[in-house]
Amino acid sequence: MSFDPKIWLNNNVSGQVLVSYVGRIDSDIITDLISKIEESVTNSDLDIGKQLKIIMHVSVESLQNIYHHSPIDVENNINEKIALFSISYNNNNSTLLCGNYIHSEKIQIVKDRIEQINALNKEELKALYKLILNNQEFSEKGGGGLGLIDIARKTGTKLEFNFISLNENLYFYILKITIV
């Protein structure tokens, strides 16, 4: 397994980096990152004021998704949950990049869900969100795909994704979220 999330992140972030993190993820680290994000965005000289609330909401949702869905895979020498997370600012847009390891059998589910979300307009996303919430269609991890739907609703942009193959059973999943 020759993939290095830090190198990937350094090669794929553009603009002014406000927050960047690659490493172990747990609830304490999420709390620290959220504080760091708020401080960095608030103290920047960038005109992010209108995006701050969305950035904070999407950051929390993204980090929770990583924490809840990252595998521990002793067979592939992944002994803790690992996260890739960054917020950058370029041309009046904020970009969140987040990523985690994912098993190959989960890829089609994630891909199908994101493609479904990207095909919907604002009203259809709202209706799907309410439908899942009202029907209590929750997975074993506690969600029904509500996090990704909520991110798409809050940002109003399409979600971009990529799966980097590490071996036949393990990939690294990257999600790119743009906030305009």
At 60-70, the pLDDT tens digits run: 999 999 999 99
Report which residue type is found at 173: Y
Structure tokens at 6: 């830090």
What pLDDT is recorded for position 117? 96
Helices (H) and strands (E) in the chain, counts: 6, 5
* Dist. CA 137–CA 130, nearest whole Å: 11
pLDDT per 10-residue tile (average), the chain, 180 residues:
89 94 95 94 79 93 94 85 95 94 95 96 94 69 74 96 95 96
Q: How far is CA 53 from the centre of its chain?
A: 16
Amino acid 45: pLDDT: 78
Neighbours of 14 (CB within 10 A): 10
Give the pair of three-digit tokens for residue 114.
């994101």
Q: What is the pLDDT of residue 116?
A: 95
SS3 per residue for 44-80: CCCCCHHHHHHHHHHHHHHHHHHHHHCCCEHHHCECC
Name the residue ranges covered by the structural domains of the chain.
5-103+158-179
CA distance linking residue 88 with residue 96, whole number of Å:
7
- ∠ CA(69), CA(103), CA(3), 5° rounding? 100
> What pLDDT shows up at residue 73?
84
Top-tier CATH class for 5-103+158-179: alpha beta
